[in-house]
């Protein structure tokens, strides 16, 4: 039966610093690198070996994928990178310290920006230090100025259906190395989680989540590989 493995990138520098990251390209910490290697070692130990891989255009997800594949002895498998697997765009919150932002705007407002299903943060102004329009990896892409979870789902799911589903139907074991919110979009879809309940779902860094799928690609089981 088809199998899908999801891995959130290892700890990034801005995870460590408690800053809103979104589309900004932040690298892994040493701990994040170790988490990524451990994920690959677990894949190898459990004989859960991917034959196809997908990731975003962001360094922390790409390097997590490569560390994991190397540890699993699978650096040779085909991989596809696409911006639609990027993290949610945090708009004008990008780069801000989360605690300082809560002190300035109030916990309730920050909770709305972070956890509501369809209310995005303030937009990122043109010319901001975090404006990505000149980044060559996004040439020709309509870069969002902010995104809600709903907005992120609207780009992730069509990509899943058009690019990842055909590989699952071809009996590949697919590994997706991505981000907390883009993976949350996939989990919501595959597990049928409500708009309300998905906002409370946490996906830990570097912990492979396995979906066992039937021939129609409906999920028959979801589990953390470390628990098997």
In whole angstroms, what is the distance from residue 185 CA to residue 133 CA?
25
The catalytic position among 87, 89, 147, 179 is: 87
In whole angstroms, what is the distance from residue 143 CA to residue 49 CA?
34
The catalytic position among 9, 89, 172, 179 is: 9
| Residue 20, helix vs strand vs coil | coil
Exposed e or buried b per residue across 188-222, where buried means at least 16 C-beta atoms within 10 angstroms of its C-beta: bbbeeeeeeebbeeebebbbbbbbebeeebeeeee
DSSP secondary structure letters along 174-223: EEEEE-HHHHHHHHHHHHT--HHHHTT----BT--EEEEE-TT--EEEEE
Catalytic residue check, 87 = yes
CA-nearest of 99, 107, 115 to 149 is: 115
Count of beta carbons in the 10 Å neighbourhood of residue 119: 12
Known catalytic residues? 9, 87
């Amino acid at each position: 039966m088809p199998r899908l493995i999801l891995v959130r990138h290892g700890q990034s520098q801005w995870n460590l610093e408690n800053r809103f990251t979104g589309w900004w390209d932040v690298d892994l910490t040493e701990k994040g690198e170790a988490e990524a290697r451990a994920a690959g070692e677990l894949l190898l130990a459990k004989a859960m070996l991917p034959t196809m891989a997908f990731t975003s255009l962001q360094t922390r997800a790409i390097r997590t994928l490569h560390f994991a594949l190397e540890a699993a002895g699978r650096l040779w498998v085909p991989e596809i990178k696409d911006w639609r697997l990027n993290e949610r765009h945090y708009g004008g919150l990008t780069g801000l310290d989360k605690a300082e932002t809560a002190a300035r705007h109030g916990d309730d407002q920050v909770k709305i920006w972070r956890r509501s299903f369809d209310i995005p943060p303030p937009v990122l102004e043109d010319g901001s230090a975090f404006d990505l329009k000149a980044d060559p990896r996004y040439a020709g892409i309509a870069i969002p100025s902010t995104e809600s979870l709903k907005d992120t789902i609207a780009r992730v799911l069509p990509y899943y259906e058009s690019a990842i589903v055909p590989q699952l139907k071809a009996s590949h074991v697919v590994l997706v190395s991505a981000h907390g919110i883009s993976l949350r979009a996939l989990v919501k879809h595959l597990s049928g989680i409500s708009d309300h309940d998905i906002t409370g779902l946490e996906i830990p860094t570097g912990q492979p989540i396995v979906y066992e799928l039937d021939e129609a690609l409906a999920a028959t089981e979801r589990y953390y590989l470390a628990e098997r």
